[in-house]
Amino acid sequence: MSTDTLAASKSLAPVPKGGLVQSVTDSLTIAKRNLIRMSRIPEMILFGIIQPVMFVVLFTYVFGGSMSVGGSTDPAVYKNFLMAGIFAQTVTFATAGSAAGIADDMQKGLVDRFRSLPMARGAVLTGRTVADLVQTCITLAVLAAVALLVGWRTGSHAPTHIGKVLAAFGLLLLLGYAFTWIGALIGLSVRTPEAATSGGIIWLFPVTFVSNAFVDTSMMTPWLRHVADWNPFSAIVQACRELFGNPGVSPSTAWPMQHPVWASLLWALLIIVVFRTLAVRKYRKAAV
């Protein structure tokens, strides 16, 4: 192909309009596309709901009577202690869906199709993460209803009100959105959706279990408790317990455990900034 032909093809290629408004519009368009796709495959949402419901039932009725929280082995105490951890685990496990979805779009050549349009480069990823956030909202709402049915109650340990409860769910959704950007980067870094699913979930097990989600960290060895206290996942769980008015872990001198709400906000924003930057950069390189 001659130099003149290459120059002509480049001049005919659509150029993104740029600007914040254009980026937001494009992102919402992609989000709508993904939500329509989800509505046509309801099992995607159904299976996403079944797993956390199973965790609620298993941990509540199988392990509830053998877990100690603040020296109490009362199943009702553990039930209220547990739910913040289950909520947080649910929003973070959405990472695997984000990774698999983006990897699937890459494999099917959807990136090439979007590249042929005059749209903001980061809109494809932002739209995908927004759509995943909507799905997480639905899952979290259903899970909260199931938690109430099995006996979870806010204000079981300390006074609370509706504003604090809504703030807790807001923090959970912010954390979930932050983790979808990790999933986006994983999805762009692997070759198949199957690899993305495995890569998107395997690292979440140590993150969620080496934390205060399911056990009181005072029962851990000192070095492991230190790791758990500085785990971003532990901060969001502790913040939700305080806002829900549910029993928490034994006092710790670690800053995230002393100021869990602020720590949760800082961790979530840091994850979004870092992994969104890396994911968009990876997407641009993949689209070249």
User: Each residue of 32-76: pLDDT tens digit?
Assistant: 888 888 878 777 778 778 888 888 888 777 776 667 676 666 777
User: What is the C-alpha to C-alpha distance for residues 21 and 16, in angstroms, rounded to an integer?
Assistant: 12
Q: Which residues of 179-209 are buried (b: 16+ CB within 10 A; e: fewer)?
A: bbbbbbbbbbbbeebebbbbbbbeebeebbe
Q: Which of 14-23, 178-187, 256-265, 273-282 has the lowest mean pLDDT?
A: 14-23
Domain boundaries, the chain: 18-286
pLDDT at residue 284, rounded to an integer = 79
- The predicted-structure confidence for 91-144, as pLDDT tens digits, reads as follows 998 888 888 888 888 888 776 677 677 777 778 888 889 999 998 999 899 999
Determine contact, residues 231/264, Cβ cutoff 8 Å: no
Stated pTM of the model: 0.85
DSSP three-state, residue 46: helix
- The predicted-structure confidence for 192-249, as pLDDT tens digits, reads as follows 888 888 888 889 989 999 999 988 888 889 999 999 999 999 999 999 999 999 988 8
- The predicted-structure confidence for 156-184, as pLDDT tens digits, reads as follows 788 888 999 999 999 999 999 999 999 99
Give 170: exposed, middle or buried? Use CB within 10 Å, 0-12, 13-18, 19+. Answer: exposed
Joined tokens for residue 279: 């994911």
User: What is the C-alpha to C-alpha distance for residues 124 and 114, in angstroms, rounded to an integer?
Assistant: 8
DSSP three-state, residue 231: coil
pLDDT at residue 17, rounded to an integer = 52
Joined tokens for residue 178: 């932050």
pLDDT at residue 19, rounded to an integer = 67
**DSSP letter for each residue of the chain:** --HHHHHHHHHHS-----SHHHHHHHHHHHHHHHHHHHHH-HHHHHHHHHHHHHHHHHIIIIIGGG--BTTB--HHHHHHHHHHHHHHHHHHTHHHHHHHHHHHHHHTTHHHHHHTSS--TTHHHHHHHHHHHHHHHHHHHHHHHHHHHTT--TTSSS---HHHHHHHHHHHHHHHHHHHHHHHHHHHHSSSHHHHHHHHHTTHHHHHHSSSSSS-GGGS-HHHHHHHHT-HHHHHHHHHHHHHT---PPP--SHHHHSHHHHHHHHHHHHHHHHHHHHHHHHHHHT-
pLDDT at residue 5, rounded to an integer = 45
pLDDT at residue 6, rounded to an integer = 41
Per the model's pLDDT, the better-predicted residue between 266 and 202 turns out to be 266
DSSP three-state, residue 72: strand
Per the model's pLDDT, the better-predicted residue between 13 and 288 turns out to be 288
